[in-house]
Structures are given as C-alpha cells and as structure tokens.
Amino acid sequence: MLIKMQLEHKKLEETCHEYGYAFYCNGSTVSTMLAAPGLDSKDHIHTTEHQIHGVGRNATLWDMSKEKDLAFTMHKYLDYVPQPFLTNNVGFAILKLLKVKFNLPFKFKWPNDIYLNDKKLAGILVQSEHTNNHIYLKIGIGINVNSDPTEFISLNQGLENEVDRTELLQSLIAIISTALEFESTPNIAEEDDYLHGHEIQFLHQNQQVIGKYCGFDQHGLKVEQEGEVVYFNDAEFVRIK
C-alpha cells in the first residue's frame, strides 16, 4: 500500500469535528504548543508537517523530521481544573493504542514518555493556565513515525515499514479525547512499565536522588529509600541507574 507523505487534511478535519475541535495544519511552525492563528479562543488541534523548535519537559528539544514524524497539540478550554494525573492518563491511552495497533513491546516511562526497545519513541507535554474564567489546557504530543533517528527510535524502525501518519493521528485524537474523561489513573501492568524493577536516579529540588522504583499513582513517583517508600511529584530527568 502506498503511504502518502503529507497529512490528509480533509480526513483530519472530519475527525477533529467529530470530537469537537477545529483543525489547523501548516507546512512549518516553531511549535504546535502555540495557538493556531485565529483559533486562540477555540478548542482546536494544531499540527504541522515540520516543527522547528518543539519543546518537551525541562525545556528539552524535540527534533521532528519533515513529513515523516508527528507533532500536534490539542488546545482545549475547560470550565474545571484538570486532574493532576492527566499526563499519565494520556500516556496510558497512547500506550494502549500503539500496543493494539502495532503489536510491539511499547512501555510507558514515568512521567511522560513512551519507549520501544529501550529507546524513546514519543513524548507528552501537558500545560494549563487560567484565562478568561477558563482553564486553557494544552496537550502536546511528539512521535517518531517514519524517520530514521539514531539516539531515539521510530515506528518505522520497529516495524520495518512505513506508517500512515494521517490514520495514526486520527486514532490518537480519538483515544486522547477519551482519556480526558478518566477520573482516576488506571493501573499499569508491570510489563508495560519501563522503570519496573530498576534502581533509578533523578533530580528533586536540584538535588540528586537515588532509590528503588516502586511505581507511581496520582500522588507522584514512589521510591524506596532505606526501607521507606517516599513520594516525589516533581522529579526531573528520571533515568535508570
């Protein structure tokens, strides 16, 4: 089957409309986390063929290959405060979709990454702010789809064939829209948890912390130190020791 290089706008417009979003796509943008022109007060999905300066947690950069990868942001206005575990729920939803769709050993790495074969495949960035008596929510997603990265991994490398980006984005819009309705964090299976069974290290308030990974829940990361389990909700640069 011939895979189209460019995103198919008509199909994506229909999917966005089904879930209550306007659709905006351009050839190039600094970051899809910026509101699309003319849509800064409406629910919309902003995607692009080439994101020049994508940013993840802790201001890390996300390099996107033109017309090969996916970068998009769901811009949504809420009349309630979103759950603090929303990033986890979005991550779980994406993980479930990828496992069902592609049957590869994807794993979720707390707090916001999807891994495949010990390499990062996708990242999630959730931001919110108060504006005009509403909560302005932004859910940014970056996925290596058909590119050929070296430090990271793409779906194309895992599957050894190209993936239809339009179809994948349609599925992601649907599954993430459902995840926004979750009222709690689903439990993650051990085999889907990238950090399970490992000693980890990370930064907490600019101090390095080392301990045994014990999972996570809506309160944050759980780490065993000297026989006691401690919660950390603002851990940064988490990695296996």
**Tell me: the pLDDT tens digits for 121-164?**
999 999 988 887 889 999 999 999 999 999 999 999 999 999 99
Claim to verify: residue 159 and residue 200 sit in the same structural domain: no
pLDDT of 184 strictly over 80:
no
- Asked if the structure places residue 186 within a domain, the reply is no
Positive/negative CA dihedral, 20, 37, 26, 156: negative
Is 141 in the same domain as 203? no
Q: Give the residue ranges of DSSP H helices in 72-213.
A: 86-102, 155-159, 165-179
Residue 33 identity: M
Q: Residue 219: which CATH number?
A: 2.30.30
pLDDT value at residue 208: 94
Range of the domain at 116: 9-179
Q: Are residues 74 and 130 in the same domain?
A: yes
CA distance 174 to 161: 24
Do 169 and 199 fall into the same domain? Answer: no
Q: Phi and psi for 183 in degrees, rounded to 5?
A: -100, -5
User: At residue 7, does pLDDT exceed 80?
Assistant: yes
Whole-model pTM?
A: 0.91
Q: Is the residue at 187 inside a domain?
A: no
Regarding whether 38 and 96 lie in a shared domain, the answer is yes
Identify the pLDDT of residue 2.
58
Alpha helices per DSSP H over 81-206 = 86-102, 155-159, 165-179
Per residue in 202-225, pLDDT (tens digit) is 999 989 999 999 999 878 899 999
Q: Which two tokens stand for residue 237?
A: 């640069």
Claim to verify: residue 134 and residue 220 sit in the same structural domain: no
Residues 134, 232 within the same domain: no
Number of domain units in the chain: 2
CATH number at residue 117: 3.30.930.10
Q: Note whether 124 and 216 are same-domain residues.
A: no
Phi, psi (5° rounding) for residue 124? -125, 135
Specify if 75 maps to a domain. yes
CA 142 – CA 121 distance, rounded (Å): 8
List, for residues 227-238, the tens digit of each pLDDT value.
999 999 888 889
Percent of the chain whose pLDDT exceeds 90: 64
pLDDT at 169 over 90: yes
Give residue 52's pLDDT: 84
Burial of 24 (0-12, 13-18, 19+ CB in 10 A): buried
Establish if 185 belongs to a structural domain. Answer: no
Q: Long-range contacts: 30-33, Cβ < 8 Å, 24+?
A: 31/55, 31/73, 31/140, 32/71, 32/72, 32/73, 32/140, 33/73, 33/125, 33/127, 33/138, 33/140
pLDDT confidence of residue 233: 83
Q: What is the pLDDT of residues 62-112, one digit of tens each?
A: 667 888 999 999 999 988 877 778 888 999 999 999 999 999 999 999 989
Tell whether 102 and 218 lie within a shared domain.
no
In this structure, the answer to whether residues 122 and 231 fall within a common structural domain is no
Q: Is residue 112 part of a domain?
A: yes
Shared domain check, 50 and 114: yes
Of 3 and 124, the one with more pLDDT: 124
Residues 164 and 102 in one domain: yes
- Is the residue at 106 inside a domain? yes
Q: Is residue 1 part of a domain?
A: no
- Give dist(CA 83, CA 208) in Å, integer: 28
